[in-house]
Structure 1
Amino acid sequence: MGFLDLFSAASMPVLKVLIVTALGSFLALDSVDIFGRNTMKQVNNIVFFVFTPALVGSNLARTVTLESIISMWFMPVNILLTFIIGSALGWVLLTITRPPQHLKGLILGACAAGNLGSLPMIIIPAVCNEKGSPFGDPVVCHEYGMAYASLSMATGAVYVWTYVYNLVRFFSVNSQDLNNVVASRDQLTESLLPSSSSTVNKKEKWKVRSEMMKQQLWNLSRRLNLKAVFAPSVIGAIVGLMIGTITPMRRLLIGTTAPFRVIQDSASLIGDASIPTMTLLAGGNLLKGLKGSGISLSLVIGIVIVRFIFLPLSGILIVKGAIYFSLVHVNRLYHFVLLLQFALPPALNIGTITQLFGAGETECSVIMLWTYGLASLSLTFWSMFFMWLVA
C-alpha cells in the first residue's frame, strides 16, 4: 500500500468524526440554542437507555456466534490491559503533578479508560469502506468490524462503570467528609486509649487499629456501587450474545427467513441512530471546555502524553507479543482493532460520571476538549501506522 492510500484510509474516518463533532458544537452555541443543556441531557438519556443498547445488541446478535466468541477471547484481556497500563501511568502523573484530592479519580480515569464505544463504531466501518483499505471486501469487513466494535463497547462499558466510576466516587470525598472521618477517628481513639499519663499496652493498640480498619472498610464498601456494572449497553450486549450464541434463538430472530426477524430489524434501525447522535453530543460537551478553567496545563499535557504516546507504544508490544505466541487468531482487522484500543482519547462516560458526583466536571470538559482536539492528529497517525503494521 502506498503512503497516500494509507493516509486517505486513516484520515477520512477521523475527518467525518470532526465534521459531525463540529456540528454538535455549533448547535450547542448560546446564539443557536438548539442543543441547550436540558436538550442535551434528554438526548443523552435516549442514547444511553435506547440507542446504544439497540446498537450493541443488534450487531452482536447478527455477527457473533459461539465460535467467534471463543476466537475473540483476547479482546476483553486486551482492554483490561489498557486500563491497567493507563492507571499505572496515571499514578506516575499524580506523583509528579500532585493535583487536588477531588481530581485524582478524574485523572486516573482519563488515563485508564479510552473511548471504546463511539469512536470504534465510527472509525472501523469507515476504514472498511475506504479505497485502499488493507482489510479486503468492504461488506465482510463491515460485518466483522461492527462485531469487534460492539464487543469493544460492551467490555469497555463494564470496566468504566466498575473501575472509573468507583475511582471518581472514592476521590470525590469533600473536605466535610474528611473532617468527619478524622473526628470519628479521634473520638474512637479517645474512647479506646487510656489517658496519656498511663502506659498503652499492645492489646489496646491492636484494638484501636482493628476498629479503625473495620470503619474504613465499611466506608469503602458503602462507596462502591456495583449495580452500575449493568449499564444498558452491557444488558444489550448480554441479550445480543445470547441471541447470537444460542442456536434456537438465532434461528427465530436472525436471517431473511427468521419468523421474528422484524424484531432484529427494528433494533438495528434504532441502533443506527446511536453513532451520529453520540458524535453530536460529544461536540456539544466539548464546547464546555472552551469556557472551563481550573486545571493546570501540566496535567493536560501529561494525560495527552499517556494516552497518545505511551499507551499506543505499549499496545504495539502487547498485540505483537500476543500474535507471536499465537494468542489471537490470524485476522488483520482484528489485530487493527486491538491496536486501536490503545490509541483512543478518554471515554466520554467520564464526563457523565463527574456530573454524577459533582467532582471535576469543569476540569473534565477541558481535558476532553484538548484530548479530542489533538485526537484528530493522533488517531490519523496511529491508524495509518497500525494499518501499515498489520498489512
Structure 2
Amino acid sequence: MEILNLLLISSVPVVKVLMITGLGAFLATKKIDILGAEARKHLNKIVFYVFNPALVSTNLSKTVTLESMMLLWFMPVNILCTFLIGICFGWILVKIVNPPVKLKGIVLGCCSAGNLGNLLLIIVPAICQEKGSPFGDPSVCERYGLSYASLSMALGAIFLWSIAYNIMRISFSNCTIGEPSDGPKSHMRSLYGENQNMVPSNNTESLLALDSHRTSEQLPEKLSEALLRFEDCTDKKDSIIVRLSHSLKMLSCKMQLKRLLTPSTIGVVVGFIIGIVPQFRTSMIGEGAPLHVIQDSAELLSEGAIPAVTLIMGGNLTKGVNPSHMPKTLILGVILVRYLFMPILGIFIVKGAIKLGLVHSDPLYQFILYIQYAVPPAVNIGTITQLFGCGENESSVILLWTYLLASISITLWSTIFLWLVA
C-alpha cells in the first residue's frame, strides 16, 4: 500500500509536466504557430536572462547559510559522477553500435549531460505539495527543494559547457570539413572559433597563416599596435608574458569559458552572497527587511520561469518528428543508459556516500542526489548541435524519444527513490 501511495505521489508531478509540455508542442505546430521557432527563441532569452536567474537567486538567498553550504559539498561531486559515468557508458555504446562520426559526439553528450535543472525545478515542488509526501511541511519542502534544484541547475550548466561541449566540439571537427564558408552556420562556427577545423591538420604553415590573419582582423587597432610593440621588444620576460596571455586567450576560446558564467550561475553567486553575508540577509530577507521589495520583485519574476521553460521544452521536442537516419539501436542504447544503467549505479553511489557519512540526513537532499542519475538528456545538447550546424535532426530525435519515455521512467524511479529516503 505504501508503494502504491508513493507511486501516486510520483506520477502526479510527471502528469503535470506532460500536460504543459503537450500544450507547448500544440502551440508550436504549424497550424497554431503561437510558439513557433522565433517565438521560442525570444521566450527562451527571457527565461535564460531574467526568469531563471531570479528563481535561482531568490530561493538560494532564503535558504542558504554558511552552515548549510558545508552540508551541500557532495552535490558537485555527485554531478561530476553523473557526467563521468555517462561518458563511460556512452563510449561503450559507441563502440558497440559504431555510428557515423558526427553521431558519436551526440551520443556522448546525451549520455553524459542530464537535465539537472529545469526538470527538477518542476518535479520537486510538485512532489512537496502532494499529500503523504515524506518531506514534511509543503512550504518548507518547496523552499529547500527549489534551492537544491537551483544549485543543481547551475552546477549542471558548468559541467555541460566544460565537459559535454568540448567532447562534442572534438567530435564535430570532422563534420565541418568541406562545408562552404559563407552562410549563417559558417558564421556561427566562426564566432565560436571552430573554423580552424576546416584546415587539414598536416598543413601547419597554412594553419599558422590563417590563425595570424584571423587574429589581425579581429583585434582592434590599439590592441594590434600593442602586440606589435611587444614583438619588437627584445626582453625575453615580456615575450613569455605575451605568449602566456595568448595561450590563455586561445584556451578560453576553445573551452568557451564565458559560457560557464551563465546568468543562472551568476544568480547562484548572488543568492549565496545574500544568504551568507548577515548584513545583506537582514536587509533583504523577511517582511520587516528595509529592502524586501527587491526580493519580492525578484520572486514575482521567478514565478514565470517554470511554466515558460516547460512550454519551450514541449515546443522544442516537435523538431524530433522530422525524418532522420538515426539508427534505432542508438536511440535504444541512449534510453537504456539514461533510464536503466545510470539510475542503478547512482543508487549504489549515493547509498555508499550516505553510509560513509558524506551526505547529511535530509531526505529531500538525498532524493535530489538520487534523481540526478535518472533525468533525460539536457535540452542544451540540441543547442550545441545548432551552434556547430551539425547533427541537429539527430539530436532532436534522441531528445524526442527520451522525453516521451521520461514520463514512465521518472515516475518509476521517483517511486523507488522516495521509498529509499522515506
Question: Is the structural similarity TM-score above 0.5?
Answer: yes
2:160 matched to which residue of 1?
160
- Residue 324 of structure 1 is aligned with which of 355, 358, 377? 355
- The amino acid that maps onto 1:42 is H
2:322 matched to which residue of 1?
291
Counting aligned pairs with the same residue, the percent is: 53
- Tell me, in whole angstroms, the C-alpha distance in 1 between the residues paired with 2:5 and 2:137: 16
Give deviations 1:17-44, integer Å, cap 9, x for gaps.
0000000000000000101111111111
Are the aligned partners of 2:13 and 2:127 in contact in 1 as well (CA < 8 Å)? Answer: yes
1:175 aligns with 2:177: yes
* TM-score, with length taken from structure 2: 0.83
Instruction: Measure how far apart 1:223 and its partner are.
Output: 2.8
1:192 matched to which residue of 2?
none
Matches within 5 A, 1:214-363: 223-363=254-394
Give deviations 1:178-228, integer Å, cap 9, x for gaps.
66224415989xxxxxxxxxxxxxxxxxxxxxxxxxxxx998875322111
Task: After superposing the two structures, state which structure 1 stretch, 372-381 or 350-359, moved more.
Answer: 350-359
- Tell me, in whole angstroms, the C-alpha distance in 2 between the residues paired with 1:170 and 1:45: 27
2:33 matched to which residue of 1?
33
Instruction: Measure how far apart 1:170 and its partner are.
Output: 2.2
1:201 matched to which residue of 2?
none
Task: After superposing the two structures, state which structure 1 stretch, 310-319 or 350-359, moved more.
Answer: 350-359
Task: After superposing the two structures, state which structure 1 stretch, 326-335 or 157-166, moved more.
Answer: 157-166
**SS at structure 2 position matched to 1:134:** coil
Matches within 5 A, 1:98-247: 98-173=98-173, 174-176=176-178, 180-184=199-203, 223-247=254-278
- Tell me, in whole angstroms, the C-alpha distance in 2 between the residues paired with 1:6 and 1:311: 22
Task: After superposing the two structures, state which structure 1 stretch, 11-20 or 250-259, moved more.
Answer: 250-259
- Tell me, in whole angstroms, the C-alpha distance in 2 between the residues paired with 1:270 and 1:334: 26
Are the aligned partners of 1:292 and 1:363 in contact in 2 as well (CA < 8 Å)? Answer: no
Task: After superposing the two structures, state which structure 1 stretch, 298-307 or 350-359, moved more.
Answer: 350-359
Give deviations 1:281-323, integer Å, cap 9, x for gaps.
0000111111141211111111101000011011100000001
Give deviations 1:138-197, integer Å, cap 9, x for gaps.
122112111111111111111112212222222221223666224415989xxxxxxxxx
**SS at structure 2 position matched to 1:328:** coil
Matches within 5 A, 1:13-52: 13-52=13-52
Change over 3 Å in CA distance of 1:247–1:186 after alignment to 2: closer
- Tell me, in whole angstroms, the C-alpha distance in 1 between the residues paired with 2:371 and 2:252: 35
Matches within 5 A, 1:366-385: 366-385=397-416
Change over 3 Å in CA distance of 1:242–1:292 after alignment to 2: farther
Residues paired across the two proteins, number: 364
Give deviations 1:238-281, integer Å, cap 9, x for gaps.
11111111111111111111111111111111111011100000
Give deviations 1:308-363, integer Å, cap 9, x for gaps.
00110111000000011000111111111100000000011111121111121111
- Residue 395 of structure 2 is aligned with which of 355, 361, 364? 364
* TM-score, with length taken from structure 1: 0.89
Gaps of 5+ in 1: 189-216
